[in-house]
């Protein structure tokens, strides 16, 4: 055989072998999934609930109108510091002041009448004492005259005179007793008139006092929506009255936020929180949860469910109050704020990237464990964990890289951080788990061969 034929045959065989090898490699690579991975590491882990709201003082009062009238004086300005008892505003009080003066005069007149009635009663009591003495004296004379007349020692005219004197004294005693009763009744009536006049004076004094407004405690005038010369009205039934101003005690500042109903079960009084205020960027304040609302608030309307007559399927929030421990001095009520409440924390917790978690059915896990030459990644403890975390649609777990294959391992999880989640059972520190891409992780079968590529993911993967 000629040399060139041998060369041609050798070249053909080499080309054929290259084609076979390339085809084999190509076919095998079609069954290898490219994945991104992450490590199971120990780290500080914290579960945080974020909620938005506004800054509010813990103690504040809206001073509303207690009477109809025109504002004649405003003694403070918005933002001014006030002391307890300091005069804030004055309404027109001509009529109420005149009523007080008139009732003061009525009280004085009633008190004078009471003094006169008391004196008249004492006079009538003195007359009664005198009438009783006259009655006793004339009764003795009459008794003595009866004995003397019987013995014939006095004349008939003298006997009749003493009898008439006793009868007159008896009538005078009855008259004196009646005058005492009358004087006592007049005295009681005068006392009642005094009480009535004083009650009327108290009423008109109260009306007069309601035209003057003073600070209930030390604080700041945070709102002053009225001006001098304006007329104000009191509230009636469902109609709100005029609000003169708002006074707030700025010594204790709170962030009142609304927490989603799905997170409220994890929020408790005393938990720590970090507060950021939109008006003061790049600065974090600290606080503590001091109050949690009991009634849900419908997110769209802001009305409490206890005030609604019908049930609502809309999203709901709960009011949570966080007391700031280090508020700035120039803080103003109403500023928008965000509170990040730490509901749970772990030091040196075993954690994995949260995007590594996925679900697989029990049948898929059985196929992995029963495959020839497969690695039984699920230890007895992990298998027990799988039964505990079992759901209707599958078992929660992660894919662990074992001998370049994706082995599904059921895991038990704990608290959730921002990007990582605590692992309670099923993994050990240093395990390499598959974190993406989402498209691959969603369809990856247990026991599949994988290729690790931790370079930046493609744009379509990020969007997925």
Tell me the domains of the chain and their CATH numbers: 30-46+348-463 (2.40.420.20), 95-209 (1.10.287), 252-344 (2.40.30.170)
What average pLDDT does this structure show over 374-397? 49
Cα 14 to Cα 3, 5, 7, 303: the distances in Å are 17, 14, 11, 82
Predicted pLDDT of residue 28: 45
Confidence label for 309 from pLDDT (cuts 50, 70 and 90): low
Pure H helices in 230-269: none
Closest CA to 134 of 176, 96, 92: 176
65 in Cβ contact with 240 (< 8 Å):
no
Among 197-206, 295-304, 306-315, 436-445, which stretch is predicted with the lowest mean pLDDT?
Answer: 306-315
Contact between 35 and 453 (Cβ < 8 Å): yes
Residue 218 CA neighbour count, 13 Å, CB half: 3
Task: Identify the band that residue 439 occupies on the pLDDT scale cut at 50, 70 and 90.
Answer: confident
Strands (E), 65-184: 69-74, 81-82, 87-91
**Is pLDDT at 347 greater than 80 in this prediction?**
yes
108 pLDDT higher than 60: yes
* Least trusted range by pLDDT, from 14-23, 64-73, 369-378: 369-378
Residue 319 pLDDT more than 60? yes
DSSP state of 191: H
pLDDT tens for each residue of 226-240: 999 999 988 876 677
Structure tokens at 332: 């103003």
Q: Where does the pLDDT of residue 194 fall: very low under 50, low under 70, confident under 90, or very high at 90 and above? A: very high
Round to whole Å and give the CA distance between 231 and 157: 89
Predicted TM-score (pTM) of the model is 0.62
User: Token pair for residue 104?
Assistant: 């003061």
410, two tokens: 């059921």
Which among 368, 332, 362, 430 is positioned nearest to 42, based on CA atoms?
A: 430
Q: Which pLDDT does position 300 carry in this prediction? A: 81
Token digits of residue 282: 């790049």
CB atoms under 10 Å from CB of 337, counted, come to 26
Q: Report pLDDT digits (tens) over 258-267.
A: 999 999 999 9
| pLDDT higher than threshold 50 for residue 31 | yes
- Residues with Cβ within 8 Å of 200's Cβ and at least 6 positions away in sequence, in order, are 103, 106
Q: Which residues are 336's β-sheet partners?
A: 54
Q: What is the pLDDT of residue 86?
A: 94
Q: How many CB atoms lie within 10 A of CB 386?
A: 23
H/E segment holding residue 405? strand 405-410
């Amino acid at each position: 055989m000629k040399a060139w034929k041998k060369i041609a045959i050798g070249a053909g065989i080499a080309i054929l072998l290259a084609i076979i090898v390339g085809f084999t490699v190509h076919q095998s690579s079609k069954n290898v999934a490219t994945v991104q991975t992450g490590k199971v590491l120990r780290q500080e882990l914290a579960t945080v609930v974020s909620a938005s709201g506004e800054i509010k003082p813990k103690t504040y009062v809206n001073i509303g109108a207690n009477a109809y009238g025109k504002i004649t004086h405003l003694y403070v300005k918005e933002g001014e510091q006030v002391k307890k008892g300091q005069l804030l505003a004055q309404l027109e009080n001509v009529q109420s002041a005149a009523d007080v003066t008139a009732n003061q005069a009525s009280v004085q007149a009633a008190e004078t009448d009471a003094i006169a009635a008391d004196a008249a009663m004492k006079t009538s009591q003195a007359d009664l004492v005198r009438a009783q003495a006259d009655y006793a004296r004339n009764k003795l004379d009459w008794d003595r005259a009866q004995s003397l007349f019987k013995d014939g020692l006095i004349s008939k005219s003298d006997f009749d005179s003493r009898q008439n004197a006793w009868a007159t004294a008896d009538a005078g005693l009855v008259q004196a007793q009646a005058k005492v009763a009358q004087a006592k009744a007049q005295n009681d009536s005068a006392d009642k008139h005094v009480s009535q006049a004083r009650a009327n004076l108290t009423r008109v004094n109260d009306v007069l006092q309601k035209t003057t407004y003073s600070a209930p405690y030390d604080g700041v005038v945070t709102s002053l929506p009225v001006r001098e010369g304006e007329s104000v009205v009191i509230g009636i039934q469902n109609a709100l009255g005029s609000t003169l101003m708002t006074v707030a005690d700025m010594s204790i500042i709170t962030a009142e936020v609304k927490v989603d109903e799905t997170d409220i079960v994890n929020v408790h009084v005393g938990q720590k929180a970090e507060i950021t205020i939109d008006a003061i960027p790049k600065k974090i304040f600290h606080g503590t949860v001091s109050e949690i609302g009991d009634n849900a608030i419908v997110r769209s309307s802001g009305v409490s469910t206890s005030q609604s007559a019908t049930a609502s399927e809309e999203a709901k929030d709960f009011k949570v109050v966080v007391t700031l421990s280090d508020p700035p001095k120039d803080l103003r009520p109403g500023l928008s704020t965000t509170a990040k409440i730490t509901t749970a924390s772990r030091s040196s917790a075993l954690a994995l990237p949260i995007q590594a978690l996925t679900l697989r059915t029990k049948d898929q896990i059985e196929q992995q464990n029963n495959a020839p030459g497969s690695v039984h990644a699920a230890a007895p403890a992990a298998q027990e964990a799988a039964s505990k975390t079992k759901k209707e649609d599958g078992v929660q777990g992660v894919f662990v890289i074992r001998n370049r294959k994706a082995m599904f391992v059921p895991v038990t999880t704990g608290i959730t951080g921002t990007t990582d989640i605590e692992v309670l059972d099923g993994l050990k520190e240093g395990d390499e788990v598959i974190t993406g891409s989402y498209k691959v992780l969603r369809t990856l079968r247990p026991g599949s061969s994988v290729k690790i590529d931790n370079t930046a993911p493609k744009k379509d993967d990020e969007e997925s």
